Amino acid sequence: MNVADQRPGPKLLATHAPRSVDEVAEIVRCAAERGQAVYPIGAGTQADVGCMPRRPGIGLSLAALDRLIDYQPDDMTITVEAGMKIDRLRRVLAERGQWLPLDFASPGGTVGGALAVGLCGPRRFGFGGWADYVLGLRAVDGQGNEFFSGAKVVKSAAGLNVHRLLIGSLGSLAIIAEATLMVRPRPEMQAGLACRLSDPAAADRLLDALSRSRLTPSAADLYSGALWEQLSGCEPTVGPVLVVGFAGAAADVEWMLDGLRQQWREAGVPFDAIERVEQFDALCEAAAAWPAEVGVAVRPSRLCALMARLGGVMTELPWQARAGDGMLLLRVGPRTPAVWESFVRDRIMAPTAEEPSARVAVIRPPEGSAFAPSEAWGFSEDETVVWTALKEKFDPKAILNPGRFPGAIAAAGAPGASPSDRPATDGPATPGISAATTAGR
Amino acid sequence: MALPELIAELRRVLSPDRVLHAPSELAAYDCDAYTVVRRRPTAVVFPHDPAEVSAVVTQCAQRRVPLIPRGAGTGLAGGCVPIDGAVVLMLTRLNRILEINLRDRWALVEAGVPNLQLARALAGTGYHYAPDPSSQGASTIGGNVATNAGGPHTLKYGVTVNHVLGLEVVLGDGSVRRFGPVAGAGAPDISGLIVGSEGRMGIVTKAWVRLTPNPHEFRTFRAIYGDVESATRTVSRIIAAGIIPAAMELMDRGIIGAVEDAYHFGFSREAEAVLIIEIDGPPPGLDRQQAQILELCAQCGAQEVLAAADPAMRDALWKCRKMAVGAVGRLSPSYFIQDGVVPRTQLPHILRRIAEVAAANRVRIVNVAHAGDGNVHPIILYDDADPEQLRRALRAGEELLLECIACGGSVTAEHGIGIEKREFMSRQYAAADLKAMQRTAEVFDPFEILNPGKLLPDRTAGAGAGRPNE
Ligand SMILES: Cc1cc2nc3c(=O)[nH]c(=O)nc-3n(C[C@H](O)[C@H](O)[C@H](O)COP(=O)(O)OP(=O)(O)OC[C@H]3O[C@@H](n4cnc5c(N)ncnc54)[C@H](O)[C@@H]3O)c2cc1C
């Protein structure tokens, strides 16, 4: 299979599949010398995340780097190469009664790919995200320098957490080659309750009650009626569905489910029914695998207010919301690129701009849409300024995943240099934070 | 360097009474809780708000004068030592809690707020801020962020970086920037990068910290052992049983004796090791975990296991642990607390090595450890009136750190590198690793004025300053 075919955008000139980190470094070094773009590829399962590649280049498949390097169940740490499939990692851990408490968008994907994309699922609320489980990373920067950041033990305060920058930056600063992760004992039981509601305002009251109680859910999510039907296979419903789940010892989970049921009954909010969600683990995975196109991050307490601002969008589109973390995920669906884009701008971005704590990210722009990376990823000005300077340090030739993630100031004369690669706060490529300050000296 | 001019400018941008520069006023800022290295700062300044912090940074940046952010000065790695005539910037006047929001599960606090002040403000809300370093009575949230502080409860709840949602920082060019607290879908976690950077990547002025619901119930145990190995074996067995206690703290005979002398908790002086184990969570699961833990302690040879019967007793057990370090003053005129970490399963090995290293260097070492994390804190005793003893104590500390590296661990779990351990960075990391860190720091501090000479080894700044005072 040619993984490259799953990647939208310009065709790859060739795909290399190095077998060692040294080979990865060598390939990147050669590409850097020629100013050739490099597109890292895991299993290709999330190739649609991020903006379109802007120029031709080579593919760098991590698939052959898939070894288990070290697993110490009693230390709760594991080190694997980036190309290891999530499925296999999970099997290895399950044999020892352990797991990585994250929701994987695609079990067929690779560890490196999941880290580079960095998206989390429902259980981030209770267990934290990728960054909370990554102890150390080995990576190769845009000049072919191999480096390690972090540690192989569960706690270390030595040095700067450079590895945290690689989580969620789509391989645009460095290519992840190896990861050391903290793992946990697998909980005995996971289950939840679902409550069909008339409108988001009712959900708001239940969420408020939840935050004032001492229940410790692993996830607290809202689903549009249509999406709920699709994910759970339950009866269709019109209003939103609130789903709260727990993980832990069976006795604890039952105890908290009872507490939640009682809390909901006493909240004085009208609802249709409370259903028990037995396959909560599977539901979380399905929710994480749902290919959201737009994500709106918002202060959790303002989520329902944001949904009210979005008005008709909430009934027109399927959506889910990580109510505990404050993240609304939507699918605009198949439309022509121009219609898709104007829908996002006019119906989602414009009303969201009124909500001070919210920010929109275009997670899966359709082929041909014109969002520039820093706009698509919803970077603030402060993030753009710092990220641009970081990119300059780690990938000065802008060869890693060009065009797919913010940060690159196209080097003058570089092939494919395009003005839309430029971040909003533009400036000369100075190795500092703000061009203005440096220029003043 | 036009220092008088700088001082005049600082007095202008703040106010004269908030700029100390007379030698007699500066002595208190020579060092932090790592007292081995002391240097005199050029000035000490007390800004009130981020704008004033920014103005001070700008003045120092123009003249390339190094600047050292300082919270409570409880750091144990010399991160606040003002090498190279640095200006010390005090954060203690940025001391307001700006917001506590239970629905969002966060609090917004200024950097100079002491950890305990936040804990007190949260009392009765049903939530708490999880990182609880033993220094929490004094140490500041900004200092905790800068050192990625831990504490006894990090085993289950994680360290500071796991509880920071966003930061406002003043970067090395004087710009005031904000990262977080609302994390975008896919936006990189820049605040997580700044946590633990020991002041090298910006001066933290505000932090949005995560609030954690209080556990429903605690069960706290004290297990006493006739040998250290049995205690460490218990730790491994508990983890292997799939239990993640909220805390597992180890104290050895030396420290138990000191605690007894100071506070008379009623420990047997014959005990070679004490474990304090705490589990928390909803009541039903706790009963089963308690039974398992008692069983494992017994199997591993505990001589006595005591379960705290009520909150007062739990407090007493924790008091004994948190006051342990303070009690060391009774054992020795001077001491320093080492901080190293090994994979948890290597704990028996490292504790054996600590004893061997102490014997070989003819120094006394007593131990406390966050055993569940594999984090040891050997406390090395010496008499600072005797330079030869100090040398031996330092050598013992170095040997222990090298052993931590050899075991696949790290030279610091929670106290940071500071000035004390910067030479060890090149033992733990390859040159390319350090370069990646250096390049990252440059982005945030282009003129290299923020705490230079700390954390990273490859600089000329403060050359030789890692040496103790003559
Ligand atoms: C008795 C005792 C017990 C301790 N127990 C623990 C423990 O259990 N766990 C633990 O982790 N540590 C512990 N420590 C170490 C110390 O308390 C922590 O490192 C603490 O986080 C330091 O906070 P501080 O406010 O005193 O910082 P300071 O000592 O003032 O500064 C520490 C470092 O952070 C930088 N810094 C301070 N404030 C800022 C800011 N606002 N922005 C940027 N940089 C800044 C400084 O330049 C310095 O490099 C203990 C120390 C003592 C003396």
pLDDT per residue over B365-410, tens digit each?
A: 999 999 999 999 999 999 989 999 999 999 999 999 999 999 999 9
What DSSP line would sit under B27-61, residue for residue?
Answer: GGGS--S-TT-----SEEE---SHHHHHHHHHHHH
Same domain, A336 and A368: yes
With a 6 Å cutoff on the Cβ, whether B191 touches ligand 1 is: no
pLDDT reported for residue B76? 94
**ipTM of this predicted structure:** 0.95
pLDDT reported for residue A342? 95
Best probe residue, ligand 1, of B57, B68, B74 (max atoms within 8 Å of C-beta): B74
**Percent of chain B topping pLDDT 70:** 96
User: Which amino acid would we find at residue A219?
Assistant: A
With a 6 Å cutoff on the Cβ, whether B74 touches ligand 1 is: yes
How far is residue B276's CA from residue B318's CA, in Å, rounded to a whole number?
8
B460: confidence class by pLDDT, cuts 50, 70, 90 = low
Q: Which of B167, B187, B213 is the last residue of a domain?
A: B213
Same domain, B277 and B185: no
Q: Which residue of A has its CA nearest to B408?
A: A152
Read off the pLDDT of residues B431-458 as tens digits, 9 standing for 90 and up. Answer: 999 999 999 999 999 999 999 999 998 6
Mention every residue, 6+ apart, whose C-beta is less than 8 A from residue A340. Answer: A332, A365, A366, A369
Q: Which residue of B has its CA nearest to A161?
A: B193
pLDDT reported for residue A5? 47
Work out which ligand 1 atom sits closest to the CA atom of B202.
Answer: 43
Same domain, B209 and B295: no
User: Which of B90-99, B141-150, B264-273 is the least confident region?
Assistant: B264-273
Read off the pLDDT of residues B16-40 as tens digits, 9 standing for 90 and up. Answer: 999 999 999 999 999 999 988 999 9
Which two structure tokens, joined as six digits, stand for B375?
A: 């984090």
Average pLDDT, chain A: 88
Same domain, B230 and B185: no
Angle between helices A250-266 and B283-299 (to 10 degrees): 160
The answer to whether B457 and B426 have CB atoms below 8 angstroms apart is yes
How far is residue A59's CA from residue A43's CA, in Å, rounded to a whole number?
12
User: Which amino acid would we find at residue A421?
Assistant: D
The answer to whether B278 and B220 have CB atoms below 8 angstroms apart is yes
pLDDT reported for residue A415? 39
Residue B461, pLDDT above cutoff 70? no
Mention every residue, 6+ apart, whose C-beta is less than 8 A from residue B135. Answer: B72, B74, B115
Q: Which position has the higher pLDDT, B213 or A238?
A: B213
With a 6 Å cutoff on the Cβ, whether B207 touches ligand 1 is: no
Place of tokens 């940074």: B57
- Compute the average pLDDT of residues B214-236: 94
Same domain, B292 and B270: yes
The answer to whether A242 and A194 have CB atoms below 8 angstroms apart is yes
Domain CATH number, residue A339: 3.30.70
Domain CATH number, residue B282: 3.30.70.3450
User: Which amino acid would we find at residue A268?
Assistant: G
Q: Which of A376, A402, A422 is the last residue of a domain?
A: A376
* Secondary structure class of B446 (helix, strand, coil): coil
Domains identified in chain B, total number: 3
Same domain, A277 and A176: no
**Percent of chain B topping pLDDT 90:** 83
Same domain, A116 and A144: yes
Domain CATH number, residue B170: 3.30.465.10
End-to-end Cα spacing for chain A: 55
Q: Does residue B433 lie in a domain region?
A: no
Q: Does residue A349 lie in a domain region?
A: yes
Residue B169, pLDDT above cutoff 70? yes
Q: Are strands B97-101 and B106-110 parallel, antiparallel or unpaired?
A: antiparallel
Same domain, B300 and B357: no
How far is residue A246's CA from residue A276's CA, in Å, rounded to a whole number?
12
Strand arrangement, sheet containing B164-170? B97-101, B106-110, B203-210, B164-170, B176-179
Q: Does residue A382 lie in a domain region?
A: no
Q: Does residue B235 lie in a domain region?
A: yes
pLDDT reported for residue A421? 38
Q: Does residue A381 lie in a domain region?
A: no
User: Which amino acid would we find at residue B360?
Assistant: A
Same domain, A91 and A115: yes
Same domain, B202 and B224: no
The answer to whether A147 and A163 have CB atoms below 8 angstroms apart is no
The verdict on a CB contact (< 8 Å) between A434 and B175 is yes
What DSSP line would sit under B176-187, residue for residue?
Answer: EEEE-SS--SS-
Same domain, B163 and B191: yes
Q: Does residue A70 lie in a domain region?
A: yes
Low-confidence spans in chain A with pLDDT less than 70: 1-10, 409-441
pLDDT reported for residue A439? 30
How far is residue A368's CA from residue A249's CA, in Å, rounded to a whole number?
49
The answer to whether B101 and A301 have CB atoms below 8 angstroms apart is yes
CA atoms within 13 A on the CB side of B444: 30
The verdict on a CB contact (< 8 Å) between A256 and B201 is no
Q: Which of B193, B213, B233 is the last residue of a domain?
A: B213
Q: Does residue B256 lie in a domain region?
A: yes
CA atoms within 13 A on the CB side of B249: 26
Q: Nearest 5°: phi and psi at B97?
A: -90, 115
Strands (E) located in B111-170? 127-128, 164-170
How far is residue B32's CA from residue B34's CA, in Å, rounded to a whole number?
5
Residue B64, pLDDT above cutoff 90? yes
Same domain, B209 and B221: no
Q: Does A358 touch chain B (CB under 8 A)?
A: yes
Q: Does B279 touch chain A (CB under 8 A)?
A: no
Q: Are strands B375-382 and A184-185 parallel, antiparallel or unpaired?
A: unpaired
Domains identified in chain A, total number: 4
pLDDT reported for residue A433? 41
Same domain, A4 and A106: yes
Q: Does residue B189 lie in a domain region?
A: yes
Same domain, A247 and A158: no
Same domain, A26 and A145: yes
Same domain, A364 and A311: yes
* Secondary structure class of B349 (helix, strand, coil): helix
Q: Does residue A94 lie in a domain region?
A: yes
Q: Quickly count: other Cβ atoms within 10 Å of residue A207's Cβ.
A: 22
Q: Which of A162, A186, A210 is the last residue of a domain?
A: A186
Interval between CA B139 and ligand 1 midpoint (Å): 6
User: Which of A20-24, A301-305, B197-201, B329-333 is the least confident region?
Assistant: B329-333
Same domain, A79 and A212: no
Q: Which residue of B has its CA nearest to A142?
A: B436
pLDDT reported for residue A424? 35
Same domain, A179 and A130: yes
Same domain, A372 and A343: yes
Torsion sign across C-alpha atoms B435, B437, B442, B445: negative
Same domain, A57 and A166: yes
CB under 8 A, 24+ apart: contacts of A29-36? A29/A143, A29/A144, A30/A144, A31/A57, A31/A58, A31/A399, A32/A142, A32/A143, A32/A144, A32/A397, A32/A399, A35/A397, A35/A399, A35/A411, A35/A414, A35/A415, A36/A399
Q: Which of A157, A186, A215 is the last residue of a domain?
A: A186
Q: Which residue segment(s) compose the domain that B276 sits in?
A: 217-322
Q: Which residue segment(s) compose the domain that A368 sits in?
A: 288-376
Q: Does residue B385 lie in a domain region?
A: yes
Q: Does residue A311 lie in a domain region?
A: yes
Q: Which of B278, B300, B322 is the last residue of a domain?
A: B322
Q: Does residue B120 lie in a domain region?
A: yes
Residue B120, pLDDT above cutoff 80? yes
Q: Tell whether omega for the bond before A10 is within 30 degrees of 0, i.e. cis.
A: no
How far is residue A208's CA from residue A202's CA, in Å, rounded to a whole number?
10
pLDDT reported for residue A46? 87
The answer to whether B362 and B400 have CB atoms below 8 angstroms apart is no
What DSSP line would sit under A326-364, residue for residue?
Answer: TEEEE---S--HHHHHHHIIIIIIHHHHTSTT-EEEESS
Name residues 402-431 of chain A within 8 A of B (Cβ).
431
The minimal CB distance from A393 to the residues B101, B289, B439 is found for B439
Q: Does residue B266 lie in a domain region?
A: yes
Q: Does residue B437 lie in a domain region?
A: no
pTM score of the predicted model: 0.94
Name residues 37-56 of chain A within 8 A of B (Cβ).
49-50
Residue B325, pLDDT above cutoff 90? no
B327: confidence class by pLDDT, cuts 50, 70, 90 = confident
Same domain, B101 and B200: yes
Same domain, B297 and B339: no
Q: Are strands B212-213 and B127-128 parallel, antiparallel or unpaired?
A: antiparallel
